[in-house]
């Protein structure tokens, strides 16, 4: 039974705030303009939950416009961990609405977004509504790379849901609890990976809000760090733990491949470029990344087959433990030069029409 029958809250929106200098007032104002009623006790309402993480509540409350403060539930949560996982888990645990959603304190939504998201999810009888995303004042964020003709009943492999790692949009709270989903707090990075992967491959009815108002990422939300010096195995721990889990082992082969292909493209290659560009890539990084790659490919041996020729050259360098930062930077940049035919076709010609193959992936991305 949907708990909206017992509780006037239709949607619990959880915002995690870590420092009082973040523009949470912008996020709150956009949610109030989201099209759902916000007055306490009003049926079908939005409840905004601002979780003040490892910081005092009062300075954050004071940032919110006076006329909006009474429409916000401020929650204090302290765990001493520099991760949004804890406050998001806390906010979700305190939720009672039919739907729950999470949001960064720097972000916002376009006018009317929440009302239209809820209407679309209920029309589709969906368990999840993936919000379309965009840069504030700029273009779209093209994830997930959904098939052009699909909006509802998405397939996690064919619609490449693995590329949307942040579960932004609407989640049916009863499903989150049924699946026992939470954000792990033990990782230095990648804390949302297992949450979203378990959600996408749960068999839930998932829709994409194509053409609906967007979730907006603002320029001041960008992480302003070069690279925190950590061992490669620490940065990749979320991936190793996921692919060695019992849950992963029980997935169909196509699902395992899709997850590992995405991890290689986004995380293995991303960490290589980050270190190589900074000039810090060294023999220790090379040895550890090669070890992590072996773990990934042991559990999904065919995951590299749809990758482009340029991708495979970089992957080969990782596998052979190439320690020259200049070489790795050149290879990492080459795979992103999409004017080159080397980025268009996979080494394995039989995989040219695979959903993850470059031409299909790039064509679908352009249509998102």
Give the model confidence (pLDDT) of 94-152 as tens digits: 999 999 999 999 999 999 999 999 999 999 999 999 999 999 988 899 999 999 889 99
Query: Is 332 inside a domain boundary?
Result: yes
pLDDT exceeds cutoff 50 at 4: no
Q: CA 53 to CA 76: how far, in whole Å?
A: 6
- 285 shares a domain with 161: no
Q: What's the CATH number where 214 sits?
A: 3.90.550.10
Confidence (pTM): 0.92
Whether pLDDT at 2 is above 80: no
Which of residues 190, 221, 252 is at a domain's end?
221
Domain end marker among 194, 221, 248: 221
Domain assignment present for 91: yes
Q: What residues are paired with 131 via a beta bridge?
A: none
Q: Do 182 and 293 have their domain in common?
A: no
Q: Is the pLDDT of residue 368 over 80?
A: no
Contact assessment for residue 206 and residue 126, using Cβ atoms and an 8 Å cutoff: yes
User: Phi, psi at residue 265, to the nearest 5°?
Assistant: -60, -45
Compute the average pLDDT of residues 77-85.
94
Beta-bridge mates of residue 11: 46, 99
Instruction: Compute the average pLDDT of residues 5-15.
Output: 85
Measured CA distances, 323 to 229, 242, 272 (Å): 17, 27, 11
What's the CA gap between 361 and 109, in Å, rounded?
Answer: 27
- Residue 98's pLDDT is what? 97
The answer on 188 and 75 residing in a single domain is yes
Residue 360: its pLDDT value, please?
A: 83
**CA of 53: how far to CAs of 58, 79, 85, in Å?**
12, 8, 10
Beta strand pairing call for 99-104 and 9-17 = parallel
pLDDT at 165: 94
For 71, the token pair is 């429409």
The answer to whether the CB of 29 falls within 8 A of the CB of 107 is no
Q: Are residues 237 and 203 in the same domain?
A: no
190 with 302, same domain? Answer: no
pLDDT digits (tens, 9 = 90+) for 221-271: 544 433 467 899 999 999 999 999 999 999 999 999 999 999 999 999 999
| pLDDT surpasses 70 at 21 | yes
The answer on 143 and 19 residing in a single domain is yes
Q: Quote the CA–CA distance of 296 and 344 in Å, as a whole number.
A: 24
Least confident of 4-13, 23-32, 81-90, 119-128: 4-13
| Residue 157 included in any domain | yes
Q: Is residue 197 part of a domain?
A: yes
For residue 269, with 0-12 CB atoms within 10 Å meaning exposed, 13-18 middle and 19 or more buried, which class applies? Answer: buried
Mean pLDDT, to the nearest integer, of 302-309? 96
What DSSP assignment string belongs to 111-167?
Answer: TTHHHHHHHHHHHHT-SEEEPPEEETTS-EE--S---TT-SSS--TTTTTGGG--S-
Torsion sign over Cα 87, 90, 92, 94: negative
Per-residue model confidence (pLDDT) at position 1: 34
Summarize pLDDT for 142-200 with one digit per residue, the tens: 999 999 889 999 999 999 999 999 999 999 999 999 999 999 999 988 999 999 999 99
Residue 288's pLDDT is: 98
Question: For 41-79, how does the pLDDT look when each residue is reduced to its tens digit (9 = 90+)?
Answer: 899 999 999 999 999 999 999 999 999 999 999 999 999
pLDDT at 220: 73
Name the domain boundary from 193, 221, 249.
221
What pLDDT was estimated at residue 219? 84
CA 58 to chain centre: 30
Is residue 226 in some structural domain? Answer: no
CA dihedral in degrees (147, 152, 158, 164; nearest 10)? 90
State whether 167 and 286 are in the same domain: no
pLDDT given at position 224? 40
Q: What is the average pLDDT score of the chain?
A: 93
CB neighbours of 234 closer than 8 A, spacing ≥ 6? Answer: 188
Count CB-CB contacts under 10 A for residue 330.
14
* 199 and 259 assigned to the same domain: no
Count of Cβ atoms closer than 10 Å to residue 151 Cβ: 15
| pLDDT (0 to 100) of residue 348 | 79
The boundaries of the domain holding residue 112 are 9-221
Question: pLDDT value at position 6?
Answer: 55
Calpha distance 299→256 (Å, rounded): 8
Q: Are 53 and 119 part of one and the same domain? A: yes
Asked if residue 1 is part of any domain, the answer here is no
Rounded-to-integer distance, Cα 216 and Cα 225, Å: 21
Q: Is the peptide bond before 144 cis (omega within 30 degrees of 0)?
A: yes
Both 154 and 135 in a single domain? yes
**Closest to 259 (Cα-Cα) out of 207, 289, 296:** 296
- Residue 346 maps to a domain: yes
Is residue 41 in some structural domain? yes
For residues 214 and 239, state if they share a domain: no
Tokens standing for residue 237: 């721990």
Q: Which of 126, 311, 103 shows the shortest CA–CA distance to 221?
A: 103
* 145 & 79 share domain: yes
> 353 or 260, which is more confident?
260
Residues 279, 152: Cα–Cα separation, whole Å: 45
Count the domains in the chain: 2
Q: Is the pLDDT of residue 363 over 90?
A: no
CB-based burial label for 146 (10 Å; 0-12, 13-18, 19+): buried
pLDDT of residue 225: 37
């Amino acid at each position: 039974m949907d708990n909206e029958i017992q509780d006037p809250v239709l949607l619990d929106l959880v915002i995690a705030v870590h420092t009082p200098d973040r523009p949470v007032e912008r996020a709150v104002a956009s949610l109030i303009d989201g099209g759902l009623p916000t007055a306490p006790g009003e049926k079908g309402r939005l409840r905004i939950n601002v979780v003040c993480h490892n910081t005092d509540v009062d300075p954050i409350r004071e940032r919110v416009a006076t006329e909006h403060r009474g429409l916000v539930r401020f929650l204090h949560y302290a765990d001493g961990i520099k991760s949004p996982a804890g406050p998001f888990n806390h906010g979700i645990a305190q939720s009672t609405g039919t739907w729950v959603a999470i949001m960064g304190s720097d972000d916002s939504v376009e006018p009317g977004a929440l009302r239209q998201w809820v209407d679309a999810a209920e029309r589709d009888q969906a368990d999840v509504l993936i919000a379309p995303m965009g840069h504030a004042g700029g273009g779209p964020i093209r994830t997930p790379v959904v098939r052009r003709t699909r909006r509802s009943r998405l397939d996690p492999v064919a619609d490449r849901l693995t590329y949307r790692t942040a579960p932004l949009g609407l989640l049916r709270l009863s499903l989150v609890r049924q699946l026992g989903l939470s954000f792990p707090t033990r990782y230095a990075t990648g804390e949302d990976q297992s949450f979203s992967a378990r959600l996408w491959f749960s068999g839930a009815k998932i829709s994409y809000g194509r053409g609906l108002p967007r979730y907006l990422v603002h320029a001041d939300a960008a992480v302003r760090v070069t690279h925190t010096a950590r061992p490669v195995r620490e940065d990749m721990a979320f991936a190793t733990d996921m692919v060695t889990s019992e849950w992963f082992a029980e997935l169909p082969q196509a699902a395992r491949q899709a997850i590992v292909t995405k991890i290689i493209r986004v995380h293995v290659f991303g960490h290589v470029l980050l270190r190589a560009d900074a000039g810090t890539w060294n023999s220790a990084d090379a040895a550890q990344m090669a070890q992590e790659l072996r773990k990934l490919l042991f559990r999904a041996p065919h995951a590299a087959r749809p990758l482009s020729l340029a991708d495979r050259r970089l992957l080969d360098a990782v596998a052979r433990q190439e320690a020259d930062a200049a070489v790795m930077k050149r290879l990492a940049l080459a795979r992103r030069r999409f004017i080159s035919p080397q980025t268009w076709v996979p080494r394995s010609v039989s995989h040219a029409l695979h959903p993850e193959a470059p031409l299909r992936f790039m064509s679908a991305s352009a249509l998102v």
